[in-house]
């Protein structure tokens, strides 16, 4: 496969989640692209959040079923293994996302398909050698590093940190939490572009039947009625961007991948086929909202006033699009789902990000929350001189070998401790880079005496079952071998030269 050359994208109409319809469309797509699975075939959906309150956040199981059945249809005996793998988001065990999304039941129904919870797998080191990389090595779950035929099946959505989440951004789920949160900051787009060196998909099919607009975890449903398929990730994302009227070169991770030779965004060099023209797809997507809204604007008219200064490396950007500010936007939306009274219940709060230098308009009794290691500020709060120091540690000091991530119960303890320590103060500081969506949910729950979504009676049983399963599995892993595996030469880069990007032209 030569990922950068002669890219093809197929746009097909599909008006509902009928499995047989999806199967036929995907089978025809695979045939048109001349693709047949072989060896270890790994299918990667987007299951970032699932359950009855997150119906539009994830790739639908009917879509997954259509893809799995189509892969089986075109297999001519060379596929040795078929598995579905993912690491979901917001500190939920992936087992729960599989169960809640319906993927678990679907996989059992299809038969002959394995599950891979990436947060329970051995993590394999992959070396980077390309220019402009954020670090020299990262980790990815073993099934990703060893896949022969990688199939990416994202959800068509906008994203508050990276404008869109199509095929390339779906790669944030090919790392477990320890490694996913490293560089998940103002350089998130570079991280996503770097992840492209781990593996390239042979086939991509996006669930755009009901797309998600505005946000990432709690998007509004947008009936686009499309399945888009392709064999090159940059070209694929470029076409999806054009469908919603976004210039793909303005999306940093897509532009970087193009500059590094992974493919083209130039429509004149992409062969677009299917029963829906790009023009007609654009007409369907008219009015589709993307999610890039600064935090100050996002909270206008609510009990929260947000202030944002630049993150570290201010020569690169004046706003941390990939970290803490975007996380609080997702956090508040989750809370609104679980409790309609969220906005009324929240007391007046002030949240501060980055090196903010302006005034904080906090009245007596109003709490100021400094969020993130890079938060700095100096001034008067309630008659007290407050100086918040920068605790940001350069990324070079964060070694993926020593990365750790707390589970949700540890996060609850940490947040509770931080808030109770500062109960008498006019301000509190939440440390981390980033302070995750889950931690910001927990902080707002405590500050506003809101319903804790992680203890919601509708999900607590299934959560604890998944949590116990995850704990048992990872403990077994630790007892039976090292959870990390050093792969020597990059498993993809050196072993599979044909997967490396080819220079353009």
- Using CA atoms, how far apart are residues 367 and 427, in angstroms rounded to an integer? 5
Minimum CB separation of residue 307 from ligand SF4 in Å reads: 12
Residue closer to ligand SF4 by CB (options 190, 373) is 373
Nearer to ligand SF4, 222 or 298 (CB): 298
CB of 412 to ligand SF4, least distance (A): 20
Min. distance of Cβ 391 from ligand SF4 in angstroms? Answer: 9
Rounded CA gap, 168 and 199, in Å? 11
Q: Output b/e per residue, 250-270; b: 16+ Cβ within 10 A.
A: ebbbbbbbbebbbbbbeeeeb
Task: Return the residue nearest ligand SF4 (CB atom).
Answer: 323
CB atoms within 10 A of CB 289: 14
CB of 184 to ligand SF4, least distance (A): 7
Please say which residue, 133 or 398, places its beta carbon nearer to ligand SF4.
Answer: 398
Give alpha helix (H) positions in 215-251. 233-243
Q: How far is the CB of 26 from ligand SF4 (least distance, A)?
A: 37
CB of 288 or CB of 392, closer to ligand SF4: 392
From 109, 103, 112, 142, select the one nearest 126 (Cα to Cα): 142
Q: For ligand SF4, which is the closer residue by CB, 398 or 451?
A: 398
State how far the Cα of 336 lies from the Cα of 215, in Å rounded to an integer: 13
List, as one string, the DSSP characters of 349-361: EEEEESB--S---
**Contact in structure between 112 and 82 (CB atoms under 8 Å):** yes
231 vs 373, beta carbon nearer ligand SF4: 373
Smallest gap, in angstroms, from Cβ of residue 182 to ligand SF4? 11
**b (16+ CB within 10 A) / e for 170-180:** bbbbbbbbbbb
**H or E segment at 428?**
strand 427-430
Supply the minimum distance, in Å, between the C-beta of residue 311 and ligand SF4: 4
Residue among 431 and 456 whose Cβ is closer to ligand SF4: 431
> Toward ligand SF4, which CB reaches closer, 4 or 374?
374
* Spatial contact of 62 and 14, defined as CB atoms under 8 Å apart: no
Token reading at 480: 């039976």
CB of 374 to ligand SF4, least distance (A): 3
- Interface with ligand SF4 (CB under 6 A): 185-186, 311-312, 320, 323-324, 353-354, 372-374, 392, 433-434
> Is the Cβ of residue 159 or residue 242 nearer to ligand SF4 in the bound state?
159
Smallest distance, ligand SF4 to C-beta of residue 376, A: 10
Q: Is there a contact between 448 and 333 (Cβ–Cβ < 8 Å)?
A: no
Nearest residue (CB) to ligand SF4, 85 versus 325: 325
Q: Which is nearer to ligand SF4, 138 or 285 (CB)?
A: 138
Greatest Cα pair distance in the chain: 75
Quote the least distance from Cβ 189 to ligand SF4, whole Å: 13
Contact 113/83 with Cβ under 8 angstroms? yes
SS3 content of the chain, % helix, strand, coil (to 5): 35, 20, 45
Pick 154 or 432: Cβ nearer ligand SF4 = 432
Where are the alpha helices (H) located in 196-264, listed in sequence order? 233-243, 252-259
Take residue 334 and report the two structure tokens written for it.
Answer: 């989750």
In this structure, what is the dihedral angle of CA atoms 430, 435, 440, 443, given to the nearest 10 degrees? -20
Cβ–Cβ < 8 Å for 188, 322: yes
Rounded to a whole number of angstroms, the minimum distance from the CB of residue 324 to ligand SF4 is: 3
Residue 411: CB minimum distance to ligand SF4, A = 16
Q: Which residues contact 324 (CB under 8 A, 6 or more apart)?
A: 353, 371, 372, 432, 433, 434, 435, 440
- Alpha-carbon span 62 to 322, nearest angstrom: 31
CB 321, min distance to ligand SF4, A: 9
Considering the complex, state which of residue 263 and residue 326 has its C-beta at the smaller distance from ligand SF4.
Answer: 326
User: Is-contact 226 209, C-beta < 8 A?
Assistant: yes
User: Angle at Cα 302 formed by Cα 359 and Cα 385, nearest 5°?
Assistant: 25
């Amino acid at each position: 496969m030569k990922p950068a050359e002669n890219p093809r994208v197929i746009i097909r109409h599909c008006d509902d989640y009928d499995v047989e319809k999806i199967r036929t469309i995907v089978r025809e797509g695979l045939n048109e692209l001349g693709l047949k699975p072989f060896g270890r075939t790994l299918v990667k959906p987007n299951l970032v959040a699932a359950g009855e309150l997150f119906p539009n956040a994830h790739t639908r199981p009917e879509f997954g079923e259509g893809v799995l059945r189509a892969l089986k249809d075109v297999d001519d005996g060379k596929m040795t293994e078929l598995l579905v793998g993912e690491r979901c988001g917001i500190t939920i065990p992936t087992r729960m996302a599989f169960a809640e999304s319906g993927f678990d039941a679907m996989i059992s129904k299809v038969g002959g398909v394995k599950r891979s919870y990436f947060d329970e797998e051995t993590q394999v080191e992959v070396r980077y050698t390309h220019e402009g990389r954020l670090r020299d090595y990262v980790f990815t779950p073993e099934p990703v590093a060893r896949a022969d035929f990688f199939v990416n099946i994202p959800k068509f959505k906008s994203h508050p940190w990276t404008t869109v989440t199509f095929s390339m951004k779906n790669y944030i789920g090919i790392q477990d939490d320890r490694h996913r949160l490293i560089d998940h900051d103002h350089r998130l787009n570079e991280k996503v572009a770097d992840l492209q060196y781990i593996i390239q998909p042979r086939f991509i099919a996006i669930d755009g039947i009901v797309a998600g607009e505005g946000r990432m975890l709690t998007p509004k449903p947008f009936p686009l009625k499309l399945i888009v398929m392709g064999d090159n990730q940059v070209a694929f994302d470029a076409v999806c961007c054009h469908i919603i009227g976004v210039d793909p070169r303005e999306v940093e991770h897509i532009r970087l991948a193009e500059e590094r030779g992974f493919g083209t965004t130039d429509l004149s060099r992409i062969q677009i086929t299917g029963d829906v023209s790009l023009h007609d797809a654009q007409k369907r997507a008219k009015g589709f909202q993307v999610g890039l809204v600064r935090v100050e604007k996002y909270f206008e008219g609510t009990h929260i006033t947000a202030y944002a200064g630049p993150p570290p490396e201010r020569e690169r950007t004046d706003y941390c699009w990939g970290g803490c500010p975007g996380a609080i936007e997702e956090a508040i939306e989750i809370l609104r789902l679980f409790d309609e009274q969220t906005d009324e219940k929240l007391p007046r709060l002030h949240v501060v990000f980055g090196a903010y230098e302006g005034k904080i308009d906090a009245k007596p009794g109003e709490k100021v929350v400094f969020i993130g290691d890079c938060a700095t500020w100096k001034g008067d709060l309630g008659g007290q001189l407050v100086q918040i120091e920068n605790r940001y540690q350069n990324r070079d000091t964060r070694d993926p070998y020593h990365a750790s991530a707390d589970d949700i119960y540890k996060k609850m303890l940490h947040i509770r401790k931080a808030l109770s320590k500062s109960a008498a103060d006019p301000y509190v500081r939440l440390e981390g880079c980033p302070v995750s969506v889950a931690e910001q949910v927990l902080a707002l729950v405590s500050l506003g005496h809101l319903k804790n979504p992680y203890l919601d009676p509708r999900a607590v049983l299934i959560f604890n079952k998944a949590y116990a399963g995850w704990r048992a599995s990872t403990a077994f892993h630790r007892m039976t071998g090292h959870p990390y595996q050093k792969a020597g030469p990059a498993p993809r880069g050196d072993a599979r030269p044909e997967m490396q990007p080819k220079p353009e032209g």
